[in-house]
Structure 1
Amino acid sequence: MTVAQQGRFAGKVAVVTGAASGIGAAVARQLAAEGARRVHVVDLAQEAAQRVAAEIGGAAHGVDVADPDAVRSLFAEIMTGDGRVDVVVHAAGIDDPVAKEHIYEAAETGEPVDVLSRLEDSTWRRIHAVNLDGTFHILRESVRAMRPGGGGAIVTVGSSAAFDTLVGYPHYASSKAAVHALSQSVAKEVIHFGIRVNTVAPGPVDTAMAARTPESVRTRMNEGAAIGYATAEQLSESITYLASDQASNVVGAVLLSNGGRFTV
């Protein structure tokens, strides 16, 4: 049987964060379906991660990516058990449902959006701790694990909100813009070790996170000529392309996957 018949990820050991639901779960399923020897399903929601892992024959890990020690222990455990890491997809991230409610209130009353003046320090820090610091922790440990094996592929999940910022979402937009810059800087550094780093920047995706978006805001996002909300499976196709050998010459890219809402 050829590698093409086995799948693009035949024999690979993969790590997917945020894999208990949404984009991460779709990626974990696709990696397993395309031949990955083991898929490590990583999420703060451990029980949900265990369900996805059981479905695909993977291994579940309950980890908060904002905790550097937890991420370090995760990769140490994986290296002890599997001896290598070939593919890492970092899909873990959070938004702010409270800010979404403020946006909803403004849409309903016709008043200007007022999020910044009500934004708590703790919320600002948590958004960046998960979205930005978590990306740093995953990138660092991924590179440490991949270098001895001669390389690998890492895909981070940013957001089109880094370019087309949503009014009332300064903390989310800034955290994702930083993810893009961080990933591209690391990409230039680690390609010399045979490690490719790329980023997918989704527009609206129909996930549990998106379900918290007020309907008035969702309606505005679906207006115009652009394709509306994407599915998690559509994002998975973009992500697994970047993680595969088909993208062997793609390094430091930020792939817009937003249905034509805008280009850069």
Structure 2
Amino acid sequence: MGSFDLTGRVALVTGATSGIGAATAALLAQRGAHVLVAGRDGSRGESVVAAIRAGGGSADFVAADLREARLVRQLARQVVDLGGGRADILVNNAGVYPFGPTEKAAESEVDTVYALNVKAPFHLVAELAPAMAERGHGAIVNVSTMVAAYGAAGMALYGSSKAAVELLTKAWAAEYGPRGVRVNAVRPGPVRTEGTAGMGEELGALASQAPAGRPAEPEEIAEAIAYLASDAASFVHGAVLPVDGGRTAV
């Protein structure tokens, strides 16, 4: 039977300075991984690291700007250096989620969404997965969204970028799975985070459409990510796990 224990593993979590990413970093560290907390905000990143260390975990902050391929690949190399020559777990969590009418999306916004949500994970996998495959072991977890599974007004840009991530998840599972690298995704529903605080009552209204009837806490999404990153999910390849309170089931 597989284990949830991650002792000795090196994990990179992008967008880990708040929300789902911070909760995931904390949980992976709690389970024994050395976590590299990647994000743009140094003060928030250092506070996440400090909290992990205060709880007896191991973590380092890595400054990351994921909007350019060159900088993404530079981050991957830095992570390998900090991880003692390897990265065993990659959580592609960083992203942006603008909502609004298609005709009002500026070209720069379209470019930014696809750069962060699609191209950054692509380049990180390109840099880190081959070495995982050479070692015969690794886990990659991509963070999607429930609106990648169905059409929703105002969600065309965000939803389509994450739909691309879900296809990449399956393609990478086919590409790297035979060499021991498991690639999976979680598909969260509405989550109470710093990033969604501005949605106010709209977040609750969106969540009320699902059987659970409420938004998730970041820790609930982190639990699913940690499962997929662990050996407990040893036979899970190319899966997209809905963690949406049942929204896509009804």
- Shorter-chain TM-score above 0.5: yes
Deviations 1:223-255, CA, capped at 9 Å, x for gaps: 345211001000011010000001000000000
Moved more, 254-263 or 205-214: 205-214
The structural deviation recorded for 1:45 is: 1.9
**Larger Rg belongs to:** 1
Moved more, 133-142 or 193-202: 133-142
1:15 aligns with 2:12: yes
Distance 2:48 2:139 in 1: 22
CA gap of 1:225–1:176, structure 2 versus 1, over 3 A, is closer
Moved more, 201-210 or 59-68: 59-68
Give the count of matched residue pairs.
Answer: 242
Corresponding residue for residue 53 of structure 1: 49
Corresponding residue for residue 28 of structure 2: 31
Residue 231 of structure 2 aligns with an amino acid whose one-letter code is: D
Contact 1:79 1:145 in 2 (8 A): no
Residue 16 of structure 1 aligns with an amino acid whose one-letter code is: V
CA RMSD of aligned residues (A): 1.8
- What is the TM-score when the length of structure 2 is the normalising length? 0.91
Distance 2:164 2:25 in 1: 25
Corresponding residue for residue 136 of structure 1: 122
The structural deviation recorded for 1:212 is: 2.4
The structural deviation recorded for 1:214 is: 4.8
Alignment of 1:103-114 (within 5 A): none
1:161 aligns with 2:147: yes
Alignment of 1:202-217 (within 5 A): 202-215=188-201, 217=202
1:71 aligns with 2:72: yes
Corresponding residue for residue 95 of structure 1: 97
- What is the TM-score when the length of structure 1 is the normalising length? 0.86
The structural deviation recorded for 1:161 is: 0.7
The structural deviation recorded for 1:130 is: 0.6
Identity of aligned residues (%): 38
CA gap of 1:224–1:63, structure 2 versus 1, over 3 A, is closer
Secondary structure of 1:14's counterpart equals strand
The structural deviation recorded for 1:33 is: 0.8
Distance 1:122 1:139 in 2: 24
Residue 27 of structure 1 aligns with an amino acid whose one-letter code is: T
Deviations 1:102-128, CA, capped at 9 Å, x for gaps: xxxxxxxxxxxxx12222111111111
Residue 96 of structure 1 aligns with an amino acid whose one-letter code is: P
Secondary structure of 1:155's counterpart equals strand
The structural deviation recorded for 1:263 is: 2.1
Deviations 1:65-95, CA, capped at 9 Å, x for gaps: 2322222222222323312211111110111
Contact 2:193 2:218 in 1 (8 A): yes
Identify the match of residue 218 of structure 1 among 203, 220, 223: 203
Contact 1:71 1:141 in 2 (8 A): no
CA gap of 1:23–1:225, structure 2 versus 1, over 3 A, is closer
Moved more, 202-211 or 68-77: 68-77
Secondary structure of 2:182's counterpart equals strand
The structural deviation recorded for 1:149 is: 2.4
Corresponding residue for residue 178 of structure 1: 164
Contact 1:65 1:137 in 2 (8 A): no
Contact 1:84 1:149 in 2 (8 A): no
Deviations 1:205-233, CA, capped at 9 Å, x for gaps: 11122212252x32431334521100100
Corresponding residue for residue 40 of structure 1: 36
Residue 50 of structure 2 aligns with an amino acid whose one-letter code is: A
Secondary structure of 2:20's counterpart equals helix
Distance 2:248 2:166 in 1: 17
Corresponding residue for residue 88 of structure 2: 86
